[in-house]
């Protein structure tokens, strides 16, 4: 399993694409593999603010319901409503079309890892 090197990752299996003062956030292919078939996404509304580490939504699969954690402090600027309507897109393309939310942020205050470090974390978990 490979992970895009241009992204940052969290211990909770979210990914972050940092672009100036905006960040796209999603969940990794590893997390999706562990969850199985996703049946529901609960995402925040545009305008809501979250601190790094706080819960910003949940993802429900045929196996379990898991919280989604905000990787960095920010304010939601966009929600991927197309994904909520067509959940298959999440596992088909988790790193491009499968983004969940976009936020504006002032500083990178989260505990983010490079792809190589994330791969080591997964190896330790298995």
CATH number belonging to domain 13-116 = 2.40.50.100
Question: Which pLDDT does position 89 carry in this prediction?
Answer: 81
Virtual CA dihedral for 126, 89, 65, 54, nearest 10 degrees?
90
Question: Which pLDDT does position 80 carry in this prediction?
Answer: 96
Q: What is the pLDDT of residues 2-16, one digit of tens each?
A: 799 999 999 999 999
Regarding pTM above 0.85, the answer is: yes
Question: Which pLDDT does position 104 carry in this prediction?
Answer: 97
Compute the distance between CA of residue 62 and CA of residue 36 in angstroms, rounded to an integer. 7
């Amino acid at each position: 399993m490979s992970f895009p090197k241009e992204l940052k990752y969290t211990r909770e299996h979210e990914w972050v694409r940092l672009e100036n003062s905006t960040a796209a956030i999603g969940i990794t292919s590893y997390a999706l593999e562990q969850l199985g078939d996703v049946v529901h996404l609960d995402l925040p509304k545009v305008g809501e603010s979250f601190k790094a580490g706080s819960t910003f939504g949940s993802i429900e699969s045929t196996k379990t319901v898991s919280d989604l954690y905000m990787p960095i402090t920010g304010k939601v600027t966009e929600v991927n409503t197309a994904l909520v309507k067509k959940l298959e897109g999440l596992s088909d393309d988790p790193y491009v079309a499968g983004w969940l939310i976009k936020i504006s942020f002032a500083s990178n205050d989260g505990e983010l890892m490079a792809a190589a470090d994330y791969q080591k974390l997964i190896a330790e978990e298995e």
